[in-house]
Amino acid sequence: MRLKLLSPGEMNDSQRQIYDESIAGKRGKPPAPMMAWLSSPEMARHATRLGEVLRFDTIFPAKLSEIAILVTARHWTAHYEWYAHKRLALAGGMDPDIINAIRDRRTPEFDDPKGKMIYDVAKSLHEGHGIEKGLYDEAVKVLSERGVVEVIGLCGYYTLVSMTLNTFEFGLPGGEVSELS
């Protein structure tokens, strides 16, 4: 870990307010990258709020939104992010074969056209730096405009998360070993 994470007692008033707000939110605890973002309190406040919206208030259930998050974690080889969101994906009902395919950089097989579309859009965003017209048109049909915006938000936010976790070398909890190479 490249950064000393502050305990609540070491935080200034602004940092402590953001920390307390995160505990009172839907997560019930501060997200790991927020602890690094506290070096920039206003960034931490806004990023944490955006993360809460993207985790809990999109039009997608967890088993679908976690596709975009896992594609992002895999793209960035974000070990901590993969560890955390693989568990959330499984708890949300995602097929383990889909998770394993993403981990192994293979295209998963989807029964749900929305799941496939989220995967295709996320891959296109990360690998192609955008979405070509045909995929965009199909994505709007399958996911809606709001859905496309929210997939972009998920990929963008979890890119920020992945960069933060990778840069500050957040370790996995209690002897866990990364599945990513």
Decide if pLDDT at 38 tops 90: yes
How far lies 64's CA from each of 98, 106, 115, 172, in Å?
A: 11, 18, 6, 24
For the segment 148-176, the average pLDDT, to the nearest whole number, is 95
Task: Give the whole-number percent of the chain exceeding pLDDT 90.
Answer: 88
144: left (phi over 0), alpha (psi -120 to 50) or beta: left
Domains in the chain, CATH or no CATH each:
13-57 (no CATH), 62-168 (1.20.1290.10)
Of the two residues 124 and 3, the one the predictor is more confident about is 124
For residue 1, the model assigns a pLDDT of: 85
Q: How far apart are CA 68 and CA 58, in angstroms?
A: 12
Angle at which helices 13-24 and 41-56 cross, to 10°: 10
How many CB atoms are closer than 10 A to CB 83?
20
Q: Is 163 exposed, middle or buried (0-12, 13-18, 19+ CB in 10 A)?
A: middle
Q: How confident is the model at residue 178 (pLDDT cuts 50, 70, 90)?
A: very high
Decide if pLDDT at 31 tops 90: no
- Eight-class DSSP state of 8: G
How many CB atoms are closer than 10 A to CB 179?
15
The H or E element that residue 141 is part of is helix 133-167
Rg of the chain (C-alpha set): 17
The distance from CA 68 to its chain's CA centroid, rounded to whole angstroms, is 7
pLDDT tens digits, 96-146: 999 999 999 999 999 999 999 999 999 999 999 999 999 999 999 999 999
Tell me the pTM. 0.94
